[in-house]
């Protein structure tokens, strides 16, 4: 009975700052290049083109920033800008952070910020704090890693507000249109509202977070991206941000891609 040989393959992963996520087989662990199938070759080619396009777009975005040099504003000024332009003119509404979905998002953001900016507070919320480490890529170790991170989030969420809080604001917009509502005999029953899409903008003023999300048609998503880009452009960057490629600068560049 013949035994099938098992070969371990190395993979190349491209994501985050380096471009769109892509995983493809590069070769086996012995260093020999494996012959790719037609499908793998096509995927490899598509990924290469995508990454070239991404780098070109990023280069263009960086040149625009260098040319325009958008003046920096504080988070307080940014909030006033959002309220004046998007709440006042485009019918965005601010959501109560203690109600519905916003309450859960506020709690999770606060917990994640504690882990990121004040991990020492976790010691007082439990029996010390140990950053979870992924031991291997086995299913058991991955599940254990997820479990430990969830426990850490629970401990962070239990830290009293007087010890750590965030300045969270969420603005939502629903694009509605009206259609005729009729019965079985095609008689009008009035007007019925339907949604074209929804979007939200989230800012956290203490730590300079800008984010959000949208759902709907491609046209609606493009509208959301334009709004998020406008908000990042108003927030702006300093000369130091540009020179050091700071997080604030990188987020502005990414909003333009």
pLDDT in tens, the chain (257 residues): 444 444 444 434 344 444 554 444 444 545 555 667 778 888 888 988 989 998 999 999 999 999 999 999 999 999 999 999 999 888 899 999 998 889 999 999 999 999 999 998 988 655 556 788 888 889 999 999 999 999 999 999 999 999 999 999 999 998 755 454 555 555 554 555 666 789 999 999 999 999 999 999 899 999 999 999 999 999 999 999 999 999 999 999 999 98
Query: In this predicted structure, what is the pLDDT of residue 122?
Result: 87
Query: In this predicted structure, what is the pLDDT of residue 42?
Result: 86
Query: In this predicted structure, what is the pLDDT of residue 71?
Result: 95
Query: In this predicted structure, what is the pLDDT of residue 193?
Result: 60
Domain locations in the chain as residue ranges: 9-68, 75-97+166-255
Q: Which residues of 198-220 are buried (b: 16+ CB within 10 A; e: fewer)?
A: bbbbbbbeeeebbebebebeeeb
| CA–CA dist 136, 120 (Å, integer) | 27
Query: In this predicted structure, what is the pLDDT of residue 14?
Result: 40
Query: In this predicted structure, what is the pLDDT of residue 40?
Result: 82
Question: What is the pTM for the complete model shown?
Answer: 0.73
Q: Residue 212 in contact with residue 173, Cβ under 8 Å?
A: no
Query: In this predicted structure, what is the pLDDT of residue 249?
Result: 96
Query: In this predicted structure, what is the pLDDT of residue 1?
Result: 47
Q: Which residues lie closer than 8 Å to 246 by C-beta, 6 or more apart?
A: 237, 240
């Amino acid at each position: 009975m013949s035994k099938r040989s098992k070969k371990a393959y190395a993979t190349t992963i491209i994501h985050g700052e380096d471009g769109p996520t892509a995983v493809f087989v590069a070769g086996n662990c012995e260093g020999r290049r494996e012959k790719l199938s037609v499908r793998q070759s096509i995927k490899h080619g598509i990924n290469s083109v995508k990454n070239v396009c991404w780098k070109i777009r990023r280069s263009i975005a960086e040149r625009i920033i260098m040319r325009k040099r958008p003046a920096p504003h504080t988070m307080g000024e940014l909030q006033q800008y959002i309220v004046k332009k998007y709440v006042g003119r485009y019918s965005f509404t601010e959501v109560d952070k203690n109600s519905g979905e916003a309450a859960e998002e506020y709690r999770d953001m606060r917990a994640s910020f504690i882990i990121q900016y004040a991990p020492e507070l976790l010691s007082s919320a439990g029996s010390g704090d140990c950053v979870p480490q992924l031991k291997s890529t086995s299913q058991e170790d991955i599940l254990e890693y997820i479990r430990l991170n969830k426990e850490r989030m629970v401990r962070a969420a239990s830290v009293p507000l007087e010890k750590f809080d965030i300045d969270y604001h969420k603005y939502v917009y629903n694009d509605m249109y009206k259609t005729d509502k009729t019965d079985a005999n095609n008689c009008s029953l009035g007007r019925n509202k339907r949604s074209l899409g929804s979007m939200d903008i989230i800012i956290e003023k203490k730590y300079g977070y800008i984010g959000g999300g949208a759902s709907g048609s491609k046209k609606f998503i493009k509208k959301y991206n334009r709004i998020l880009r406008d908000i990042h452009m108003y927030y702006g960057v300093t000369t130091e941000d540009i020179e050091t490629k700071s997080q604030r600068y990188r987020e502005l560049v990414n909003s333009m891609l």
